[in-house]
Structure 1
Amino acid sequence: MDITTFRTPGLGDTTYLLTHNGRGVLVDPQRDFARFLEAAAEKNVELRFVLETHLHNDYVSGGPEAARRTGAELVMPAAAAPAYRHTPAFHLEDIGAEDGLSVRPIHTPGHTPEHTSYLVLIDGEPVAVFSGGSLLVASAGRPDLLGPARADTLARLQHRSLHRLAGLPRDVLLLPTHGEGSFCTTSGVGRFTSTIGDEVDGNPLLALPTEDAFAAQLMATPLPIPAFYPHMGPTNIAGVPPMPATSVPALTLADLATLPDDARIVDIRPRHAVAKGRLPGSTAIELGTDFGSWTGWLLPYGAPLVLVAEPGQDVAEAITQLAQIGLDAVLGVVTDLDAAATATFEVVELDMFVKLVQQPDAQILDVRMPSEHREIALPGAVWRFLPELFSEGVPTGLDSSRPVLVACGSGRRATIAASLLTDAGYRPVVLSGAGVAELAQQLAR
């Protein structure tokens, strides 16, 4: 048996390709499934099954199309009931037995009601379990993504599911889909795979004595839910269109005058380039591993998009990340701004930012996540989580006549905030290459 892992860092997810005796099992593939099929072809493996653990909340699935392209059998939780052909996975009803490989579905509701894990058996012996969003490394999948009304019920189901999986043999590999960086997990530890024995010994959620204590722990501190999440489940139920092309037309500034009224401009250039000049009204979301997630969270879902990029920048990567969450309406890309880039802001490193913060009239805006703010709160700073800055507007306490010093964890989110602040008439100064933690250390000296 061989297992190949594919991390999608911006989503915090892992796809797996398990191979045995020339046959392959693909688990929870994202929409850009070509990379998984290429790996199978390199191994000279025939894809036998495509397994889906649940109707994903965080990305558009590539499972149905990957199965169609390869002739593999698409296996989904029986309770998912999507609107396309598949093999329903019923609890403990083994699937396949060719060349000694079989898959045993285990109903593990909690992250979603239909959630199903898959125990892999080689010659009848359990060797690995694909746990999706159920039992995770030192954690568990969130039970609140389908709304607060069902969260307590799903949390209690998750408790039973975790203990169901914990009853497997200790040496069984634990291969979850969600992990560090995913908003589908309740915590992160920097590891993505484990064993059942390691989780029994060290997962703090398995140590909680009662179902009540477990549910209370999972629901104690509500976590933010990205705005694009509610669109993922219905898309995965209805059926996903084929992956769009990753090349788009080159547009001129004159073309922008003909855009639909609801179109949005997203500037993917590096922050220092954006700071020197950007198109007024554009949102600066620097291209990185989480570009697609922030675009889907901050802008109206499904709005037509135009990208602004540097010549030679990896526009295909940006389009792929957008497609992973179903944002297919990319109209084109602009790479020559000429003199139209008039909106500017300032980007500085930590030493200069500290000097600015120490000025008597300094005003600081912290745009980090609630969990980051709870861990380290900067005295005197105004805090507004980045998505709330977009949905609720600029805090009233900020003075537009003075610079606004914007900080996050590295400068990435602060740059996004700066594009909004600039258009609102403020003068933002972004802390780059460091964040609130480093800033707090410097100020404490």
Structure 2
Amino acid sequence: MFFVDTIELEGLGNRSYLAGGERTAVAVDPPRDVDRVLAAAARRGVRISHVVETHVHNDYVTGGLELARLTGAAYLVPAAARVSFTRVPIADGDTVGVDADLTLAAVATPGHTPHHTAYVLSEAGRPVAAFTGGSLLIGTVGRPDLVEPRLTEELARAQHASAHRLADALPDETAVLPTHGFGSFCSSAQADGDATTIGEEKAANPALTTDVDAFVADLLAGLEDVPAYYAHMGPANAAGPAPVDLTPPAVADPDEIAARLAAGEWVVDLRNRVAFAEGHVAGSFNFEADGKLATYLAWMVPWGKPVTLLAESAGQLAAAQRELVRVGIDRPAAAATGGPAAWIRDGESPASFRRATFAELAARDADGTVVLDVRRASERAAGRIEGSVHVPVHELHHRIGEVPDGTVWVHCAGGMRAAVAASLLDAAGREAVAVDDGFDAAAEAGLTVATD
């Protein structure tokens, strides 16, 4: 009897898998922190015989090379992928044995990348699961625009063909197990659902229900901005990532925190946005540990700039380190735990700013105020507060000078990104009010919501 264990990477919106039988297993698209995969194997009492990559990833640093080194597993990487390390090149149609009666077959599925490969797990010759990486996702497909702009349309057409190849070759009951698509920016659209099959995708996935020209047109029209850190992930994965170091960073006292801020380094407060607004180190930025920490911090921080982490507990700090190594922020420059009282120098006071609802925004005195929308362009197109200024949160640190004078009431769709933006504005000396509310409440509060 086979098993498939899912290893969630919730902050990045991805999944990795461990699949096998009684004695051996294969790891698919493993995360950088490979101890999670090793623990899953230990719980099952199996040896990892193979580690496979569906593609050279653009959104996270893989743990595949390190996992193969630690376990002695064969490291299977698509043959057409250009990498700088020794691996077993895998090509369309290649098959490996995983356990008794279990085989894994490679299926070329270009589209997300030119070399993308899916893997079909079969038991006694019957396909039971397809590890589809960034090809066929739940209700959508992986983005085709992450490799080379000139290849985007060609890869979009390849995605359509690859989805049909899988759907035509596999039984309807075959489980579809993608790596992307659970909030990942590698997905071309955010679809609902947590599990799916080939049959379900045949009925609902636009790649399988729409002709190629219409599919490509819709796919390309819906692509969002690419997180800036993606430019660093592919090269890191092709070069062969180094092992991670998750030991606690050096402890920073108030003088060191102040010195790092004065040097222009990033000091990141991981506490929840309510606590941060009530009191924080002046000049620090708020990226909640429970939000999309890795995605937004890696997207916004100038690449390579030292980062000091401020956390409410050692556990929160350790979890944040684990999130950040997955996107190549390997070692914090320093860290401190506790709260603002332990982080500021004697004689100094914590900084703070207001939080508000859309009802309070509607009731404000509009004179001398600015409404700043930090959502993505697609969100704003579906509904915007009339008269508001638009700067997506991932661009704000470069464009604060474009925000008009006055008190800035900043909002997003739910509050998290507004808190990040408010912290950036506050650090820049602007008076900010973070609207911590769901955007649906804007119209209910009487604000005029327009659409493009």
TM-score, normalisation: structure 1: 0.93
Say whether 1:425 aligns with 2:429.
Answer: yes
Aligned equivalent of 1:443: 446
User: Which digits, 9 at most, give the CA deviation of each residue in 1:342-395, with x for residues without a partner?
Assistant: 432111345434433x75654311111122112221222111111121223343
CA distance in 1, matches of 2:15, 2:298: 20
Is contact 1:58-1:229 (8 Å) kept? yes
Is contact 1:60-1:326 (8 Å) kept? yes
Say whether 1:412 aligns with 2:416.
Answer: yes
For 1:163-174, list aligned pairs within 5 A: 163-167=164-168, 168-174=170-176
Aligned equivalent of 2:87: 86
Aligned equivalent of 2:214: 213
For 1:69-84, list aligned pairs within 5 A: 69-84=70-85
Q: Structure 1 counterpart of 2:389, which letter?
A: V
Query: 1:190: how far off?
Result: 2.6
CA distance in 1, matches of 2:23, 2:223: 45
Say whether 1:391 aligns with 2:385.
Answer: no
Is contact 1:268-1:285 (8 Å) kept? yes
CA 1:71–1:299 in 2, change beyond 3 Å: closer, same or farther?
same
CA distance in 1, matches of 2:204, 2:426: 47
User: Which digits, 9 at most, give the CA deviation of each residue in 1:36-93, with x for residues without a partner?
Assistant: 2111101111112111100011100011111111122211111113212211111012
Say whether 1:372 aligns with 2:379.
Answer: yes
Q: Structure 1 counterpart of 2:295, which letter?
A: S
SS in 1 for 2:440: helix
CA distance in 2, matches of 1:411, 1:367: 10
CA distance in 2, matches of 1:158, 1:144: 11
Q: Structure 1 counterpart of 2:100, which letter?
A: D
SS in 2 for 1:443: coil
Query: 1:313: how far off?
Result: 5.5
Aligned equivalent of 2:243: 242
CA 1:261–1:93 in 2, change beyond 3 Å: closer, same or farther?
same
CA distance in 1, matches of 2:272, 2:258: 25
Say whether 1:344 aligns with 2:352.
Answer: yes
Q: Structure 2 counterpart of 1:41, which letter?
A: A
SS in 2 for 1:435: coil
Query: 1:97: how far off?
Result: 5.9
For 1:262-341, list aligned pairs within 5 A: 263-312=265-314, 314-335=316-337, 336-338=342-344, 339-341=347-349
Aligned equivalent of 1:8: 9
SS in 1 for 2:100: helix
CA distance in 1, matches of 2:83, 2:20: 27
User: Which digits, 9 at most, give the CA deviation of each residue in 1:261-292, with x for residues without a partner?
Assistant: 46321111222222233333322212124111
Is contact 2:50-2:98 (8 Å) kept? no
Query: 1:334: how far off?
Result: 2.6
Gaps in structure 2 of 5+ consecutive residues: none
Say whether 1:177 aligns with 2:140.
Answer: no
CA distance in 2, matches of 1:67, 1:440: 54
Is contact 2:106-2:120 (8 Å) kept? yes
Is contact 2:253-2:336 (8 Å) kept? yes
Q: Structure 1 counterpart of 2:171, which letter?
A: P
Gaps in structure 1 of 5+ consecutive residues: none
Is contact 1:394-1:421 (8 Å) kept? no
Q: Structure 2 counterpart of 1:405, which letter?
A: W
CA distance in 2, matches of 1:263, 1:426: 19
CA distance in 2, matches of 1:232, 1:415: 27
User: Which digits, 9 at most, give the CA deviation of each residue in 1:409-432, with x for residues without a partner?
Assistant: 222111111122123332111112
CA 1:97–1:264 in 2, change beyond 3 Å: closer, same or farther?
closer
Is contact 2:144-2:153 (8 Å) kept? yes
CA distance in 2, matches of 1:312, 1:438: 36
Q: Structure 2 counterpart of 1:115, which letter?
A: H
CA 1:395–1:60 in 2, change beyond 3 Å: closer, same or farther?
same
Q: Structure 2 counterpart of 1:163, which letter?
A: H
Is contact 1:179-1:191 (8 Å) kept? no
Query: 1:201: how far off?
Result: 1.2
Q: Structure 1 counterpart of 2:377, which letter?
A: P
Aligned equivalent of 1:147: 148
Give percent identity, aligned residues only: 38
CA 1:97–1:288 in 2, change beyond 3 Å: closer, same or farther?
closer
Question: Cα RMSD between the aligned structures?
Answer: 2.0
CA distance in 1, matches of 2:86, 2:66: 11
Is contact 1:61-1:240 (8 Å) kept? yes
Alignment: residue pair count:
439
User: Which digits, 9 at most, give the CA deviation of each residue in 1:118-177, with x for residues without a partner?
Assistant: 011111111111000001111000001123222112112112111111112211111110
Is contact 1:228-1:296 (8 Å) kept? yes
SS in 2 for 1:96: strand
